[in-house]
Chain A
Amino acid sequence: MPDTTFEKAITEEIDIEAGNRKNTAETTARVGKMSKEEFLQKVMGDEFSTEKALLKLQNKLHNYETKYRMRSEVFYKLIVGTPLEDNPDFIAWAMCYRSYFRVLQTKFAIWEEKPYVIHSPEVSNRG
């Protein structure tokens, strides 16, 4: 007597493999220039991840720091704004550093600011 559970499992596995092959084939077939609609759908529809962006920027900063053996904050204070800045790596490093802080500020932004209440001094009725 055939083991129906086993047969079912094998059939499911084959289906999954066929599905995977189909997806790979679709991806390969779709490699090529995106249309603007496709592009916008991809980038605007995706889950927005500040964490992911921070991590990527951190990695880039780390690469510059390793290459030039200098911390980013030291680089920014010493080089940016001086003629030495006119170097392709330094220009990109400065942009990356500013952007990193922009994202960091976003992450720790205060969303609901409580209104600053000014308490008027109590007027005492004397007399």
Chain B
Amino acid sequence: MLSTHQRYLIADRCWLIYDLITNTFSVLDSFHLEFPEIVEVALASGYIEIRVQIEREHLLYIYEEYSFQAHTIVRVSYSYNLLDASQNNIIRADDVPHHRVDYRNQMLSHFPNHLHDEKGRICSFTGEIADFFHQVKRFL
């Protein structure tokens, strides 16, 4: 079972994501009510799955899995997705280590983090959720 400290670390990370989403995009009121329940699963499992409608016509799917090392939280895996109203992926980012170079054959700057752009091409990506949101804003 996760300790209180570990649960607090997860809650803190979830808050950061919530804060970032709500500060960057306009979301439905229901998201504010649903979010604590989403976090409840994360506190038990170390895995968060957020599906939120942003700016009316787009969807943002955020998945993160956590682990702990010496009293600190570590994001062990993630997948960030921007989808259109028909649930087709526009851009997405993850850290699955199956790409080493980008579409121009350049080494990924932050391997294994990479981004699949709107044309499906592999691009370098920092792995930071804030950077993903920055990319998302280009499509809104």
Contacts and interface: CB of A to CB of B under 8 A. Distances in A.
A95 B44 contact: no
Interface string B77-109: 101010000000100101010110000000000
Interface residues of A, number: 36
A42 B79 CA distance: 26
Contacts, number: 102
A57 B77 CA distance: 17
Contacts of A99: 45-47, 65
Nearest to B1: A106
Classify the secondary structure of A's interface with B.
helix
- Size class of the contact patch on chain B: 35 or more
B46 A43 contact: no
Given A32-B29, A40-B15, A43-B40, A92 B49 contact: yes
A95 B41 CA distance: 13
16 contacts: A36-B15, A39-B35, A39-B39, A40-B8, A43-B39, A44-B7, A48-B7, A49-B40, A52-B41, A53-B44, A54-B44, A83-B98, A88-B79, A94-B77, A98-B47, A102-B47
